[in-house]
Amino acid sequence: MFEIIYLSLAILLAVLTLAPLSWSQVWWIRGLDFPRLQLSVVLSVLLIVGFVVIRDWTSVTAVAMGLIIGCLVCQLWWVVPYTALFPKEVKAVDVGGAGARLRIMTANVLTPNRNSDGLIKLVRDYTPDVLVTLESDGWWGEQLEAIEENYPHTVKVPLDNLYGMHLYSRLPLSDISIEYLIEDDKPSIHCFIELPTGQKVKAHFVHPAPPSPTENEESEERDGELLLVAKHVEPEKHPTIVTGDLNDVAWSRTTLLFRKLSGLLDPRVGRGMFNTFHADYWFARWPLDHIFHSHHFALVSMTRLPGFGSDHFPLLTELALAPGENGAGDGPSPDKDDKEAADEIVDKAMA
C-alpha cells in the first residue's frame, strides 16, 4: 500500500513539475510557475520519508524515488539562483561609496484596504525618492495627498478595477506618458526621473493582469505586456529601471525572457527571493513585485518592508549610479529562438 501511495505522489509531483516547462499560457499551468519553493519542500520531505521508511527496495519504490529526485533537482534549478548559494548578478556598493542614489518603493495597496495611514507611515519612515502605488483608486489618491508636500511630482491614474496606479516623486519627472500597452484598462507609466546630479533615468512602472479563472484564462496579456516593455527598453541609451507588480515570479520563463530581451539585471539574483505576496500566508509566498535595472546601477540595499493591510508587502530598493561596477553583458542575453518566441507572444497578445 505504501508503495502505491508513494508512487502516486511521485507521479503527481512530476506532472506539477513538468507542466510549466511547456510554453502553454493556460492559467493553471502558468500558475505552477509560482510554488516552486513550496514544491521543493514537499519533494524534500518525500525524499526523506522514502529513505527512512523503505527497507526492501522494489522497482516501484525505485521509480518513485527516481521521479522525486529528478523533480527536486528540476525545481531547485529554478529557485537556487534566488538564494545566497548563487553568485550575485548585481554588485553591491556601500552608502559611503555610492554615487547618485535612487530609492524606490513599490507598493500594491489592495484596493479595498483602508489602512492608508500604515502606508503613509512607511513612506515617512523610509523616505523613498519615488513611490509607486498599484491597485490605487480615487480614495487612495485622496488619502495620499498627505505626502504630496514632500512628493510634489505626481502622476495619477485612479481606477476602480484593481489596476489604478499613482506615482509620487521628490525628484522632477519629464516625458511622462500613460500607456495602455495590451489591455484598454491596464495602464503603465513611463517617464524620466531626474537625479540631483542632473542625470536622467528612464523608468517604466507596470502592472499587467495575471492569468487566472477570474481575469484572463491565459497569460498572453501579461506575457505580451512584459515583453513589449522589454522591447522598448534601451539601456544602451539611458540608465533604466522597470518596476511594479508583474503578477509573475522571478524564475518564470517569461520573466527570464523579459530579462534577456531588455538586458536588465535582477538585484535579487544571489541575494534572496524577497517574497512580497501573499502577506497573510507565510507558507504561500512568492516574489510578484519586482525591480530590474540597467548595468549603470549597483545595489545599495533591497528590503521587504512591513505590511500595512494589503496582500502585498512593499518593496524598497536603493540603487546607486556606479559606472563600471556591472558590465553591459552581465545579465542573460537572447538568442534567435528567444526573439522569435517573444515576437510570437507579443503578436498574439496584440491581435
Read off the DSSP letter of residue 9. H
8 Å CB contact between 260 and 333:
yes
Burial of residue 159, with CB atoms counted within 10 A of its CB: 0-12 exposed, 13-18 middle, 19 or more buried: middle
CA-based nearest residue to 36, from 248, 282, 251, 304: 251
Residue 111's contacts (CB-CB under 8 Å, 6 or more residues apart) are: 135, 136, 137, 140, 160, 162, 164
Residue 196, C-alpha cell as written in the block: 540631483
DSSP 24-89: --BHHHHHTTTTHHHHHHHHHHHHHHHHHH--S--HHHHHHHHHHHHHHHHHHHHHGGGSTTS--S
What does residue 252 show for φ and ψ, rounded to 5 degrees?
Answer: -70, 160
Distance (Å, whole) CA 210 – CA 185 = 14
Which CATH code for domain 95-350?
3.60.10.10
pTM score of the predicted model: 0.95
8 Å CB contact between 82 and 273:
yes
Pairing label, strands 188-194, 200-206:
antiparallel
What does residue 272 show for φ and ψ, rounded to 5 degrees?
Answer: 160, 170
Query: How large is the C-alpha radius of gyration of the chain?
Result: 21
Residue 123, C-alpha cell as written in the block: 513612506
8 Å CB contact between 15 and 43:
no
pLDDT in tens, the chain (351 residues): 889 999 999 999 999 999 999 989 999 999 999 999 999 999 999 999 999 998 888 999 999 999 999 999 999 999 999 999 999 999 999 876 556 999 999 999 999 999 999 999 999 999 999 999 999 999 999 999 999 999 999 999 999 999 999 999 999 999 999 999 999 999 999 999 999 999 999 999 999 999 999 999 999 999 999 999 999 998 888 999 999 999 999 999 999 999 999 999 999 999 999 999 999 999 999 999 999 999 999 999 999 999 999 999 999 999 999 877 676 566 788 999 999 999 999 999 998
- The pLDDT value recorded for residue 138 is 98
8 Å CB contact between 43 and 4:
no
Residue 35 one-letter amino acid: P
